[in-house]
């Protein structure tokens, strides 16, 4: 399980190009590179490593941390 002390609670510290992990229920759900963010809405988009799919993630649905 991820170290909860390192989870992000403010998207202003995250920037395009950062590598990010999305955790839910103590398990890694998504991993990729940040492409875009809307900190005022608490959402960002990543390009998933491995699949190349674009995913929208939010602070309420996932525990996010930089890798």
pLDDT of residue 6: 85
Per-residue confidence band for 2, with pLDDT thresholds at 50, 70 and 90: low
pLDDT at position 46 over 70: yes
For residues 19-39, give the mean pLDDT. 96
Angle, alpha carbons 46-30-22 (nearest 5°) = 85
pLDDT of residue 34: 98
Q: Global pTM?
A: 0.86
- Alpha-carbon dihedral sign for residues 61, 12, 5, 32: positive
Rounded CA-CA distance 38/1 in Å is 27
Q: Which domains does the chain have, with CATH numbers?
A: 12-66 (2.30.30)
Rounded CA-CA distance 15/33 in Å is 10
């Amino acid at each position: 399980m991820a170290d909860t002390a390192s989870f992000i609670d403010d998207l202003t510290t995250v920037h395009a190009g950062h590598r990010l992990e999305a955790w839910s229920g103590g398990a890694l759900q998504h991993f990729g590179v940040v492409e875009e963010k809307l900190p005022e809405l608490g959402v960002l988009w990543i390009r998933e490593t491995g699949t190349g799919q674009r995913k929208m993630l939010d602070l309420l649905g996932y525990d996010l941390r930089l890798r």
